Amino acid sequence: MADRGALIDLIPASPSAFMLVSVVAAYGSVPRGPGAVMCVMPDGLSGTIGGGALEYQAIQLARDALAAGADPFLRDFALGPKLDQCCGGRVTLLFDPFDASDRPLLDAMAGDPQALLQTHPGPSAGQPHHRLITRSQCPDGLAADRAVALYDGAGRCFEPSMPVAVDDIASVIQNCGSPYAPLYMFGAGHVGRAVAAVLAPLPFDVHWIDQRADAFPADAPPHIRQHRVPDPKALWPRPRRGRFI
């Protein structure tokens, strides 16, 4: 099942570098499924891939890769004793860096929630790592209710239930939008917590924003996106029909 997240609602307004970290495959018991995504910035974080040791290691890896100017890459994580997170399953994460030079593509993503983002991990050989495509341009395999699909070098889609080695993945295609209407809520005080409890069962992709690291309750609904950023105004969303604040 696709997660609730939407890539376009995590893109920061500032042109500084950031890393999108997405769950692109999951097998067995895992915190979040394919489509879960977080945005890692040098001094901030928004979204979640499920918390715990997995998220902590992914954040550190993303920041190290940003500092090194790395290309997009995939990484497998077994959620066992070695990771100190004993869910028992396995996830594949896509680490996808962006910087100011990608702003035209990011603006195009923000303006078209139906667009699909295609990423080619690894060295680029002079070709762009990213491009936006329409559903009609997408190879068979990314149904409307799927958040992400993986393809081999011949453009064949891997079955989502079948484990795939990261070296066999030539491209990743993700939905930029979400089937749920995005709703932004600023402040995680006692009023914000009460409102979050009311919103939790409703069909919204809720973004909960606060600058305090300890503001969010430990028992917050896992599908509500928690954004801890130094300047909440940086996540004030671009105007778009069907987006709520």
Per-residue model confidence as pLDDT tens digits over 193-223:
999 999 988 878 788 999 887 888 888 877 7
DSSP state of 79: -
Q: Which residues of 187-209 are buried (b: 16+ CB within 10 A; e: fewer)?
A: bbeeebbebbeebeeeebbbbbb
Distance CA 193, CA 161 (A): 36
Task: Provide the sign of the torsion angle of the four alpha carbons 181, 186, 191, 196, taken in this order.
Answer: positive
Q: List Cα–Cα distances, 18 to 42, 103, 181, 217, in angstroms.
A: 7, 12, 24, 26
Mean pLDDT calculated for residue range 84-99: 86
Question: How much is the mean pLDDT over the chain?
Answer: 83
Q: Comparing C-alpha atoms, which of 150, 155, 132, 171 is closest to residue 91?
A: 150
| pLDDT digit string, tens, across residues 150-189 | 999 888 888 877 889 999 999 999 888 765 677 889 999 9
Query: Which distant-in-sequence residues (6+ apart) come within 8 Å of 219 by Cβ?
Result: none
In the chain, the DSSP E strands lie at 18-27, 37-41, 44-47, 73-78, 90-98, 116-119, 130-133, 148-151, 171-175, 181-186, 204-210, 225-228
Does residue 206 sit in helix, strand or coil? strand
Which pLDDT band holds residue 6 (cuts at 50, 70, 90)?
low
Main-chain phi, psi angles of 66, to 5 degrees: -60, -45
Distance CA 158, CA 162 (A): 7
Name the pTM for this structure: 0.72
Query: Which distant-in-sequence residues (6+ apart) come within 8 Å of 191 by Cβ?
Result: none
